[in-house]
């Protein structure tokens, strides 16, 4: 790179940064930014005399915003240098080895959220300050106090800074966005933005509703006399902070690399988003010897995961009709590799979302894929447009059966119960794992059964005969008899599978189990009052079920006759005790797994539910009880310790 190319790159970086930090409206992905940043940094390292004054490398952080009081950190909050592959790891290790040959390494996740510095004095949380520019940040103590994983008091008398990342778990992120979509509010692009935005709310009540989580990663000012970082962190967890889902002490390249691969492979299964792994020298004394550059500690580095956000182009926007008739727009994008998966489709949620983001066919867009989250378009790069992009209109006709659509605003629905897409998708759902789990009845087969005219409803499946199947394309003897066998095996299924498989709106797996536990097959005769008396069944669910039964009475009866669902044997009646017939909720860590304690209570005739409501009789809590405990207290539900529960059972 020559001097001119270098200056162009600095300019480009500054443009990206302006869009990201000032306008809150990114025009590129983090990955592209990081790579360019590193190119610039590499140039500057060898051309120290010609570093541009406005190079982002010369900026030590971002400016705290107005609206909050500012506060100084007791000791500086540093950033981390990034590395992207095994080569760079090797180089980093060589550099550290030059400074000390004895270094051991502590590895933990790099969480993707917003950093926060907590100050405790005499055992009390006295300040919570955002990172800001590393020296000064925003004072958001009130907001931090709403975060359940931040202890308000700790068993440590001196003054100590506990640093960590505030994150939103993936599931909670989906929930918040679903709520926002239903209320016609703009969606958060990713859990990190959602966490940062929620943390810096001027109104702490909004922060409190967002279920933020604090994950500690370090200690600032302190008077600890513990020589290893790993042991210091263990001490922090002892004080009542959350542990990382994975952490490991490693001795050198191969152990670090292996642990990195493991974390990368397992991260989709973790509740929080990770964007890499942080490697830190474990011995505090060696850390101090190694010291800091302008921005970063020399004793730590962030080993980033491959990007999950990528730039691509929208080739087309197609419509999908689901089993309930909801029409969902889906973007077909230029195939893009993200973490070893080729992404070709991205969900667009609904038409309001397309209009809000102004997504057009031909647009350059940023897509995001993260673990279990379905790939989605988070942003259109408007400056890339050339005028040839096409807007998509809200559909008025079903793309599959051509009948008129009902436009309810957020949702657009095909109301034709016989629409091929609805029928085919409900059969696929019927056969899926959480329903009847029928092997050999996948998408393609259901489609060909439907198109051959053999199957028009789930009931037809059970009168299929060998000679009919053999006439279908691709059906030889083996495949046909396998399908007929699996259909036979579906008979006698558990009652809840039968209920779940019918695909009743608002009634999923959990509700189906609740219904069958309470009524068995007689759920069709339950009254509205009886239904809503059940824990976890609200008015909307009960209403939807009653309506389904009213309209489909005959269908239910026929299906029941075919499937002969089994009812779990009535449990032996428990003798009289304080928990019999009561609803209990368990929280916190107990002397045995909560699964075992649940079984114990169920044996005494209690029902153990996952969430606290007005119907809960007892909240049984162990150590580290969190939001369920607070909710129980606020609803006036009796709270008892595990020990108290055991005494009551004696």
List active site positions: 110
- Stretch touching ligand IVH by CB under 6 A, among 103-111, 173-181, 306-314, 607-615: 103-111
| Residue 446 neighbours by CB distance under 10 Å | 21
By the rule CB under 6 A, 132 interacts with ligand IVH: no
Find the binder of ligand IVH among 64, 137, 151, 297 (CB under 6 A): 297
Distances (CA, A) of 319 to 330, 394, 396: 6, 10, 12
Q: How far apart are CA 378 and CA 189, in angstroms?
A: 5
**If residue 484 lies in a helix (H) or strand (E), which one and from where to where?**
helix 477-490
Residue choice 31, 44, 108, 353 for contact with ligand IVH (CB under 6 A): 108
Q: Is residue 110 part of the contact set for ligand IVH (CB under 6 A)?
A: yes
Asked if 278 touches ligand IVH (CB under 6 A), the answer is yes
Strand partners, 153: 124
Q: How is the beta sheet containing 213-219 ordered, strand by strand?
A: 124-130, 114-121, 160-167, 213-219
Nearer to ligand IVH, 298 or 313 (CB): 298
| Chain position whose Cβ is nearest to ligand IVH | 115
Binders of ligand IVH among residues 182 to 221 (CB under 6 A) are: 217-218
- 185 Cβ contact list (under 8 Å, min separation 6): none
Pick the closer one to ligand IVH by CB: 160 or 317.
Answer: 160
**Angle made by CA atoms 244, 86, 299, in degrees to the nearest 5:** 55
Q: CB 59 → ligand IVH: shortest distance, Å?
A: 14
Nearer to ligand IVH, 272 or 423 (CB): 272
Report d(CA 319, CA 330) in Å as an integer.
6
Token pair of 196, please?
A: 């940062």
For the bound state, the minimum distance from the C-beta of residue 239 to ligand IVH, rounded and expressed in Å, comes to 17
* Residue 83 sits in the site that holds ligand IVH (CB under 6 A): no
Could you say whether residue 428 binds ligand IVH (CB under 6 A)? no
| 151-170: contacts with ligand IVH (CB under 6 A) | 165
Structure-token match 């302008």, residue found: 294
Q: Does 115 bind ligand IVH (CB under 6 A)?
A: yes
State which of positions 168-187 bind ligand IVH (CB under 6 A). Answer: none
Positions 443 through 462 that interact with ligand IVH (CB under 6 A): none
Looking at the DSSP assignment, which residues form a beta bridge with residue 594?
none
Residue 59, token pair as written in the block: 């900026």
Between the CA of residue 261 and those of 245, 278, 336, what are the distances in Å?
Answer: 15, 13, 22
- The smaller minimum CB distance to ligand IVH, of residues 111 and 498, is found at 111
Q: State both tokens at 573.
A: 């009646």
The residues facing 135 across adjacent strands are: none
Find the shortest distance in angstroms from Cβ 273 to ligand IVH: 11
Q: Which of residues 22-81 bind ligand IVH (CB under 6 A)?
A: 78-80
DSSP label at residue 241: P
Site string for ligand IVH, 574-613 (x = CB under 6 A): ----------------------------------------
Look at residues 374, 371, 378, 359 and name the one whose alpha carbon lies nearest to residue 311: 378
Nearer Cβ to ligand IVH, position 232 or 628? Answer: 232
By CB under 6 A, residue 111 contacts ligand IVH: yes
Buried b (16+ CB within 10 A) or exposed e, 128-138: bbbbbbbebbb
Q: Is 94 left (phi over 0), alpha (psi -120 to 50) or beta?
A: alpha
Q: How far is the CB of 135 from ligand IVH (least distance, A)?
A: 13
Q: Which is nearer to ligand IVH, 162 or 343 (CB)?
A: 162
The interface region with ligand IVH, picked from 68-76, 296-304, 393-401, 485-493 by CB under 6 A, is 296-304
- Closer residue to ligand IVH (CB): 246 or 411: 246
Contact 330, 317 (CB under 8 A): yes
476: left (phi over 0), alpha (psi -120 to 50) or beta: beta
Which residues of the shown chain bind ligand IVH in the complex (CB under 6 A)? 78-80, 108, 110-111, 115, 131, 165, 217-218, 278, 297, 300, 302
């Amino acid at each position: 790179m020559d001097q001119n190319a270098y200056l162009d790159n600095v300019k480009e970086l500054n443009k990206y940064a302006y869009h990201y930090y000032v306008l809150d409206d990114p025009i590129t992905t983090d990955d592209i930014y990081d790579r360019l940043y590193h190119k610039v940094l590499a140039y500057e390292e060898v051309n120290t005399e010609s570093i541009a004054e406005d190079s982002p490398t010369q900026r030590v952080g971002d400016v705290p915003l107005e609206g909050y009081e500012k506060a100084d950190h007791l000791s500086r909050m540093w950033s981390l240098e990034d590395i992207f592959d095994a080569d760079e790891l090797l180089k980093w290790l060589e550099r550290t080895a030059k400074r000390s040959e004895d270094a051991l390494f502590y590895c933990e996740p790099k969480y993707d959220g917003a950093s926060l510095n907590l100050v405790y004095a005499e055992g009390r949380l006295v300040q919570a300050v955002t990172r800001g520019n590393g020296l000064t940040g925003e004072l958001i103590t009130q907001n931090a106090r709403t975060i359940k994983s931040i202890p308000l008091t700790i068993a440590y008398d001196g003054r100590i800074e506990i640093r960590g990342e505030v994150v939103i778990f993936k599931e909670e992120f989906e929930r918040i966005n679903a709520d926002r979509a239903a209320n016609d509010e703009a969606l958060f692009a990713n859990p990190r933005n959602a966490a940062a935005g929620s943390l810096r709310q001027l109104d702490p009540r909004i922060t409190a509703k967002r279920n933020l989580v604090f994950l500690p990663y370090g200690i600032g000012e302190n008077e600890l006399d513990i020589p290893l970082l790993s042991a210091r962190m263990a001490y922090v967890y002892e004080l009542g902070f959350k542990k990382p889902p994975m952490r490991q002490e490693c001795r050198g390249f191969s152990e670090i690399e292996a642990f990195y691969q493991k974390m990368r492979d397992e991260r989709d299964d973790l509740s929080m988003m990770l964007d890499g792994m942080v490697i830190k020298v474990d011995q505090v004394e060696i850390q101090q010897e190694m010291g800091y550059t302008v921005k970063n500690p020399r004793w730590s580095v962030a080993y980033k995961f491959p990007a999950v956000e990528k730039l691509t182009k929208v080739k087309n926007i197609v419509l999908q009709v689901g089993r309930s008739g909801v029409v969902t727009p889906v973007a077909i994008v230029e195939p893009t590799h993200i973490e070893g998966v080729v992404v070709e489709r991205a969900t667009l949620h609904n038409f309001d979302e397309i209009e809000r983001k102004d997504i057009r066919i031909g647009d350059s867009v940023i897509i995001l894929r993260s673990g279990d989250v379905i790939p989605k378009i988070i942003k259109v790069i408007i400056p890339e447009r050339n005028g040839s992009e096409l807007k998509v209109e809200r559909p008025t006709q079903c793309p599959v059966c051509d009948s008129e659509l009902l436009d309810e605003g957020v949702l657009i629905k095909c109301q034709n119960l016989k629409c091929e897409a609805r029928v085919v998708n409900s059969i696929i759902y019927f056969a899926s794992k959480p329903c009847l789990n029928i092997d050999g009845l996948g998408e393609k087969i259901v489609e060909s059964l439907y198109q051959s005219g053999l199957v028009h409803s789930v009931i037809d499946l059970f009168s299929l005969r060998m000679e009919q199947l053999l006439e279908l394309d691709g059906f030889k003897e083996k495949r046909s008899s396998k399908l007929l066998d699996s259909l036979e095996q579906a008979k006698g299924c558990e009652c809840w599978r039968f209920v779940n498989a019918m695909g009743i709106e608002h009634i999923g797996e959990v509700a189906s189990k609740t219904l069958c536990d309470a009524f068995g097959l007689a759920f069709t005769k339950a009254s509205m009052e009886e239904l809503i008396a059940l824990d976890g069944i609200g008015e909307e669910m009960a209403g939807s079920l009653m309506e389904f039964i009213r309209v489909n009475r005959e269908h239910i009866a026929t299906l029941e006759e075919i499937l002969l669902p089994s009812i779990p044997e009535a449990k032996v009646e428990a003798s009289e005790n304080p928990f019999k017939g009561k609803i209990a909720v368990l929280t916190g860590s107990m002397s045995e797994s909560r699964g075992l304690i649940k079984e114990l209570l169920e044996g005494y005739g209690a029902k153990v539910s996952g969430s606290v409501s007005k119907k809960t009789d007892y909240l049984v809590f162990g150590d580290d009880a969190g939001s369920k405990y607070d909710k129980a207290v606020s609803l006036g539900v009796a709270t008892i310790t595990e020990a108290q529960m055991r005494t009551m059972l004696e």
